[in-house]
Amino acid sequence: MAKNTKKAEEPVRKNGLFEYAPAPESPAAAGDIATSYGHFIGGEFVDSSGSEALKTVNPATEQVLAEFAQGTEEDVDRAVAAARKAFTDWSALPGSERAKYLFRIARIIQERSRELAVLESIDNGKPIRETRDVDLPLVAAHFFYYAGWADKLDFAGYGSNPRPLGVAGQVIPWNFPLLMLAWKIAPALATGNTVVLKPAETTPLTALRFAEICRQAGLPKGVVNIVTGDGRTGAALTSHPDVNKVAFTGSTPVGRAIAKQLAGTRKKLSLELGGKAANIVFDDAPIDQAVEGIVNGIFFNQGHVCCAGSRLLVQESVQDEVLDALKRRMDSLRVGDPLDKNTDIGAINSAAQLARITELTAAGEAEGAERWSPACELPGAGFWFRPTLFTGVSQAHRIAREEIFGPVLSVLTFRTPTEAVEKANNTPYGLSAGVWTEKGSRILWMANQLKAGVVWANTFNKFDPTSPFGGYKESGYGREGGRHGLEAYLDV
Amino acid sequence: MSETSTRLDVLKTYKLYVGGKFPRSESGRVYEVTDSKGQWLANAPLGTRKDTRDAVLAARAAVKGWSGTTAYNRGQVLYRVAEMLQGRREQFAAEVAVSENIGAKKAAALVDAAIDRWVWYAGWTDKVAQIAGNGNPVAGPFFNLSVPEPTGVVGIVAPQAGYGHSFLGLVSVIAPAVATGNTVVVAAAADAPLPALSLGEVLATSDLPGGVVNIISGRTADIAPTLASHQDVNAVDLTGAIAADGPGAAAELEASAADTLKRVVRPEVDPFAQDWTVAPGTDRLLSFLETKTVWHPIGI
């Protein structure tokens, strides 16, 4: 670990405060997890045509939660055929009827939100506090929001009676499994498309549980199909000739490969890819609020956030003050059991992701940046990474350029607003940015200059179904959420 | 000197339009432009990959100024372009007639339509944000606003086919991109480059800053791949790519554009059937915009 990290064994608790008592949520609230899962195709749970099975583990314990099918090309074929068959009736249904199905789904998600929150936490490793207070409320809200659009599409600004595209092939990541599913499925269904969705191979469980919700809602068979598997299944889905629309959220290299794969076809494509957001703190910013924003920006969801504020740009004159306050705050972050309601930072999602974070942070040290982490005990089993910050980072360092996707903050400094803009925009990504200052005109000037799809001013990592989300440059194209999010699923 | 009835015309040397200037191709090469009967019309510059890269540099340099200009001012400048076009109406009609092998009357009607279309787009500059942006009622104490911004540098393969392609089609792809604050590099119709090259002369006298529109004539097979693969191009409009070099080449351009995740406007499946007199919707206008959403807390 870092050279200046205090020994983890030190018994004294932070700042002389009392330690929290454990407040664990019951894993039993997740409901029954089957020992093995097939796909959800045509309204039924079905076995894969192949025999290969993958395992999903609880990243906090490394215990296997369930086996699930590695989707074959034949499986994808079946799912696309089911979606194609369902498309005729679903797209012909009056919008007001489609809306009611989506409202039903939203309501059932609310009813089952504790179960889904616990299941998500177990499968993903993220703290229950976040699944309960962020993921699940946003999932339900997203279905609610798009439900209301289904019978109002004539007024969305895409001409009268805008038509759906057909079958949507959707591939989502592991960082917000159910929320990304909602971002994909809700607008697709509202506009009259049918979908085949592939969840990530480390977090398939909530998508499969969502399939049950579709059944409870009485959703017509084949409107939603879930096929599990790894990248091979994803490639089979995105390249399937009978898919009319591809939506992908994930890494920029995979997004690039999909864009190449679709070149010369008539498939519509939307991509929500990586980021390396700058969180810019000016000398007149309210420091305590800014520090909360910095912490929320990079340590929310273990930093497994494409729009994470992974580069802190702090004005030189307040650098020491900000970093001192930030370190104090990081010292009080609680890393550990995701099901403990007091936990701030849960488990890293997978061994592979932990290896990636470890490699990039090692590169940060090797390239000369100074590493710091608070002393904190990490559980023995599972995948864990201490909240980490690097100072003395230059723009050329890998930790300033590459998406780490972990709880690692790179700190750079600037003197003038112009320099801040230049450094913030000096990246092939352009997903999000943060600005902290009390000066209104400066906020608006910065917001104008920053090449990013979302700019959070005096706040960070806020999401809402009405607010469009998506990137500039190599962070992808198309928007999810809001009125803009409809466009990706309409033939316009 | 006695008067003669056979006065010799002064012919024009057609040149590229790059960065507000009129360079010859850096290669020093030209190619023959002919009418439908093979009759020589002019020697057009054979623009190269290097010319295209120079044009991208000029377009990039112009982004900051043009995208930073007020929407009202952009509208004024673009309307000025239409005024200049009107003054050159007969010249463009003559070039369109020989380029598309149509009669003088039809050619004049196409030029009129092109001027009107330019005016239509000029009027959009200060309205597009009002149809493409909106306030978002988020569930919390936040001000939340989405606004469209120009994508940046757009590489355009101009229409190479379809009724009206040589000028009306050209205007139909350039005007929406620049109206929304982008700068462009255009690969002109290879077989019918004269209206495009003359458009450069109009733009140069219309208060349009140099580099906002750059026009390259030559082989699309040289120019288009340079645009599609260029790291400093943000979007490509492949409208003319199928008619120019076939669907395979168009697909290759799209694949190449994917390397830096450029925004892509695909060509029509049958570009030869395209009728450029059909009134456009807002599709092209909205193609080269990025939606930026800004949040700020509300409080006292």
CATH number at residue B252: 3.40.605.10
pLDDT score recorded for residue A15? 57
Same domain, A416 and A279: yes
Same domain assignment for residues A42 and A163: yes
Among A454, A460, A486, A492, which would you mutate to test the B interface (most chain B Cβ atoms within 10 Å of its Cβ)?
A454
Q: Domain for residue A383, yes or no?
A: yes
Residues of chain A positioned with their CB less than 8 A from the CB of B230 = none
Instruction: Quote the mean pLDDT of chain A.
Output: 96
Task: Examine residue A150 and state whether it is found in any structural domain, yes or no.
Answer: yes
Half-sphere exposure of residue B114: CA atoms within 13 angstroms, side-chain side = 30
pLDDT tens across A165-209, in order? 999 999 999 999 999 999 999 999 999 999 999 999 999 999 999
Name chain A contacts of B263, Cβ cutoff 8 Å. 477
Rounded to the nearest integer, the mean pLDDT of chain B is: 97
Do A239 and A279 share a domain, yes or no? no
pLDDT at B145 over 70: yes
For residue A466, being part of any structural domain is answered with no
- Put simply, the answer to whether A271 touches B140 (Cβ < 8 Å) is no
The CA-based angle A120-A121-A126, given to 5 degrees, is 120
Average pLDDT over residues B119-127: 98
Minimal CA–CA distance to A192: which of A150, A224, A148, A246?
A: A150
> Is position A464 within any domain?
no
Residue B2 covered by a domain: no
Are B261 and A255 an interchain contact pair (Cβ–Cβ within 8 Å)? yes
Q: How far apart are CA A283 and CA A321, in angstroms?
A: 10
Low-confidence ranges of chain A (pLDDT < 70): 1-17
Structurally, chain A folds into a number of domains equal to: 2
CATH number of the domain where residue A41 is located: 3.40.605.10
Instruction: Show the domain range for A89.
Output: 31-273+472-489
Whole-number Å distance between alpha carbons of A109 and A116: 8
Q: Does residue A295 share a domain with residue A356?
A: yes
Residue B8 lies in a domain: no
- d(CA A118, CA A102) in angstroms, rounded, equals 23
| A321 shares a domain with A180 | no
Q: Which two tokens stand for residue A72?
A: 């074959």
Residue A388 counted as domain residue: yes
Instruction: Name which of A259, A264, A466 is nearest B136 (Cβ-Cβ).
Output: A466
The per-residue pLDDT for B177 is 98
Whether B176 has a pLDDT exceeding 90, the answer reads: yes
Do both A164 and A264 map to the same domain? yes
Q: Which pLDDT belongs to residue A1?
A: 41
- State what percent of residues in chain B have pLDDT above 70: 99
Same domain, yes or no: A221 and A352: no
Confidence check: pLDDT of B3 > 60:
no
B108 lies in a domain?
yes
**One domain, residues A263 and A290:** no
pLDDT at B190: 97
Per-residue pLDDT, B246: 97
How many CB atoms are closer than 10 A to CB A472? 28
Percent of chain A clearing pLDDT 90 (strictly above): 95
Token readout for A350 is 């997978």
Supply the range of the domain harboring residue B190: 30-297
Residue B211 lies in a domain: yes
Interface confidence, given as ipTM, is 0.94
pLDDT per residue over B241-250, tens digit each?
Answer: 999 999 999 9
Contact A464 B140 (CB under 8 A): yes
More confident call, B52 vs A16? B52
Whether residue A96 is found in the same domain as residue A208: yes
User: Which residue of B232, B292, B298, B300 is the best one to mutate when testing the A interface, meaning the one whose CB has the most A CBs within 10 A?
Assistant: B292
The pLDDT assigned to B1 comes to 47
Task: Provide the number of structural domains found in chain B.
Answer: 1
In a shared domain, residues A259 and A387: no
Residues facing residue B228 across a β-bridge: none
d(CA B110, CA A405): 54
User: Is residue A222 assigned to a domain?
Assistant: yes
**Averaged pLDDT for residues B236-240:** 98
Question: What CATH number is given to the structural domain containing A311?
Answer: 3.40.309.10
Q: Could you tell me if residue B7 is inside a domain?
A: no
Query: Are residues A204 and A115 part of one domain?
Result: yes
What are the residue numbers of the active site of A? 272
Measured CB to CB, residues of chain B less than 8 Å from chain A are 131, 134, 136-140, 142, 144, 146, 234, 247-248, 250-255, 257-261, 263, 266, 269, 281, 283, 290-297
Tokens of A117: 């929150």
Residues A220 and A320 in one domain: no
